[in-house]
Amino acid sequence: MSLKRIKVLIAKLGLDTHWRGAITVAHILKNAGMDVLYLGNSMPEDIIEAVIDEDPQVVGLSSLGGAHLSLGEKVLELAKTHNLHNTKVYVIGGVIPPDDEQKLLKIGYDLVFGANATEQEIINGIKNKLSEKGLLTI
């Protein structure tokens, strides 16, 4: 029996234009057999709207512009308002100082990745979180 394909939505948080990381991770996840949707630059409201429309299991946000705390928190606040928090895995990555990593996990992100994250760390991290949250459907 094969696993149902994991659907991932990837977005760049806010106006930050550094999209190489996001697109690289998108390729990694696609090569790992996941369905990847790249939303491009989006504000928290647009991201949540896309989550409602597309219903992915994983939401991956990329931030290299320093807005990971302010906009990152807004995304999860909106997710909670729409009751979309427990039914998805939220991942954030980019240039994130060590102190902020803890803050993001506390806000409710399931995974935080820095620039040195390896392909396997990202893929396994996502799969483990999906199964922890009971979202790996067979």
Partner 1 sequence: VPTEAAHLISLRIQQIIQEETGITEVVDPLAGSFYVEWLTNRAEEEILKEIDLIWRMGGLTKAIEMGWLHRKIAEFSYTDYKQIQEKIIKIVGVNYYESEKEDHQIDVFRYPENAEERQRIKLEKIRSERDNELVADKIEKIKEAAKDGKNLFPYVVEAVRERATEGELFEAFKQVYGLWTPLVRI
Residues that bind partner 1 (CB under 8 A): 19-21, 23-24, 26-28, 30, 36-38, 40, 66, 97-99, 116, 118-119
C-beta closer to partner 1: residue 98 or 134: 98
46-83 burial by CB neighbour count: b if 16+ within 10 A, else e? ebbebbeeeebbbbbbbbbbebbbebbbbbbebbeeee
Alpha-carbon span 57 to 45, nearest angstrom: 18
Q: Which two tokens stand for residue 34?
A: 């996941």
Q: What is the smallest separation between the CB atom of 131 and partner 1, expressed in angstroms?
A: 24
Q: What is the smallest separation between the CB atom of 9 and partner 1, expressed in angstroms?
A: 11
Q: What is the smallest separation between the CB atom of 121 and partner 1, expressed in angstroms?
A: 11
C-beta closer to partner 1: residue 41 or 85: 41
C-beta closer to partner 1: residue 12 or 129: 12
